[in-house]
């Protein structure tokens, strides 16, 4: 099969596209003909060697994909040949990646794709949808009528947070980097979309949250959290969610934090159990069918341009170029 793979970590240019053996599904595994796969910031970190997950070569990057089941390994029983499925959490901890014509994975990571959802949309919503769901529900315990704040409301995770929080009945404040993205973010359901370049950003947040006592759930998607500012804007008993910034070592205002009865939750989606991720996936599928969850596709590349797709993700994740809105897809 054709696949994108690396023989060593490094810049996007280390990605090659060529023929490698099609995987044979093992015990409890399913072979899927990939219809679309998605690129995530973590792919940048792994390919670049920042996160040491690429340990066996050739290493195929890619956590997410959607496609059609073509073969079952021994004792795989959840799906049958011809079923449409999607997944996340591949290319991690020794699992194979998804930037290929075929991918074989344990059936515990696979979910049925709704009949009305394309492979492109299913792949685009995979990791980011599960992440937003875990953050808002398992970690923050979001309740209807609470106020959620998220940085980057048209980004991969941010656009999912906006939609899932709205679906749960919350009020949503999001920041974005341009007027065009403000419009997209409002369309996704944000009650207040603020350009993060504006000088009166916090005054706008305070005006919006005055009647609610502040922000109940701060979902931080940025790698440099600003705790003094965040704690000041939080409502009593609010929850601050951290999920980015491995190298960040920010100052922390202990006194203001505890006198507001705040809580701080960190999580990495890949630590969630298969059962926890399946619960998110089931809910995401249902929300898609109800028209409450629409994964955002920003740019699509053919498999032959996998290195360009990675470079584009890196420019937006590490260099913050702001040229992406939604997910990057790679089509085999």
Q: Which stretch binds ligand NAP (CB under 6 A): 66-74, 105-113, 277-285, 313-321?
A: 313-321
Q: Does 41 bind ligand NAP (CB under 6 A)?
A: yes
In angstroms, the CA 164 to CA 172 distance is 10
Cβ–Cβ under 8 Å, residues 88 and 63: yes
Return the residue of 8, 268, 302, 304 that touches ligand NAP, per CB under 6 A.
268
Buried b (16+ CB within 10 A) or exposed e, 83-110: bbbbbbbbbbeebbbbbbbbbbbbbbbb
Among residues 158, 189, 238, 332, which is the contact residue for ligand NAP, using CB under 6 A?
158
SS3 301: strand
Tokens 């009593």 label which residue? 236
Give the residue from 287, 295, 325, 303 showing the smallest Cα distance to 169.
Answer: 287
Beta partners for 59? 6
163 binds ligand NAP (CB under 6 A): no
The reply to whether 42 sits near ligand NAP by the rule CB under 6 A is yes
Q: Which stretch binds ligand NAP (CB under 6 A): 11-19, 105-113, 127-135, 208-216?
A: 127-135
Q: On the CB side of 207, how many CA atoms lie within 13 Å of its CA?
A: 8
> Smallest distance from the beta carbon of 158 to ligand NAP, in angstroms?
5
Both tokens assigned to 109? 């990571």
Inter-helix orientation angle 126-133/274-289, to 10°: 100
Task: Work out whether strand 29-39 and strand 64-72 pair parallel, antiparallel, or are unpaired.
Answer: antiparallel
Q: Does 196 bind ligand NAP (CB under 6 A)?
A: yes
**The one segment of 26-34, 36-44, 99-107, 278-286 that binds ligand NAP by CB under 6 A:** 36-44
Q: Scan residues 219-238 and list those touching ligand NAP (CB under 6 A).
A: 221-223
Q: How far is the CB of 203 from ligand NAP (least distance, A)?
A: 16
**Interface with ligand NAP, residue 154, by CB under 6 A:** yes
Closest residue by beta carbon to ligand NAP: 155
The C-alpha atoms of residue 87 and residue 46 are separated, in whole angstroms, by 19
Nearer to ligand NAP, 282 or 323 (CB): 323
> Which tokens hold the place of 124?
């685009």
Comparison of 140 and 244: residue with beta carbon closer to ligand NAP: 244
87 binds ligand NAP (CB under 6 A): no
Binding site for ligand NAP (CB under 6 A): 40-42, 127-128, 131, 151-152, 154-158, 175-177, 181, 196, 221-223, 243-244, 267-269, 316-317, 320, 322, 324
């Amino acid at each position: 099969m054709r696949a994108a793979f690396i023989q060593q970590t490094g810049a996007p240019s280390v990605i090659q596209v060529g023929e490698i053996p099609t995987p044979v599904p093992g015990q409890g595994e399913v072979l899927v003909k990939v219809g679309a796969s998605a690129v995530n910031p973590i792919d940048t970190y792994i390919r670049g060697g920042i996160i040491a997950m690429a340990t066996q070569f050739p290493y195929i990057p890619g956590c997410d994909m959607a496609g059609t089941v073509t073969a079952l390994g021994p004792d795989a029983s959840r799906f049958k040949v011809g079923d449409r499925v999607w997944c996340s959490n591949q290319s991690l901890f020794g699992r194979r990646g998804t930037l290929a014509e075929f991918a074989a994975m344990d059936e515990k990571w696979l979910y049925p794709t709704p009949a009305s959802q394309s492979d492109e949309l299913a792949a685009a919503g995979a990791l980011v949808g599960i992440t937003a769901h875990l953050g808002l529900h398992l970690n923050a315990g979001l309740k209807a009528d609470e106020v959620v704040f998220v940085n980057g409301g048209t980004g991969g995770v941010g656009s999912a947070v906006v939609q899932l929080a709205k679906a749960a009945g919350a009020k949503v404040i999001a920041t974005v980097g341009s007027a065009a993205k403000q419009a997209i973010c409002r369309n996704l359901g944000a009650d207040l979309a603020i350009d993060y370049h504006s000088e009166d950003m916090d005054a706008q947040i305070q005006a919006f949250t005055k009647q609610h006592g502040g922000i109940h759930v701060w979902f931080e998607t940025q790698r440099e959290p600003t705790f003094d500012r965040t704690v000041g804007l939080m409502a009593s008993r609010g929850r601050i969610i951290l999920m980015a910034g491995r190298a960040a070592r920010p100052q922390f205002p202990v006194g203001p934090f505890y006198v507001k009865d705040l809580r701080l939750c960190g999580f990495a989606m890949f630590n969630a159990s298969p059962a926890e991720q399946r619960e998110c996936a089931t809910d995401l599928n249902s929300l898609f069918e109800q028209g409450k969850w629409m994964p955002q596709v920003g740019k699509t590349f053919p498999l032959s341009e996998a290195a360009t797709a990675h470079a584009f993700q890196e420019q937006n994740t590490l260099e913050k170029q702001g040229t992406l809105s939604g997910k990057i897809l790679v089509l085999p």
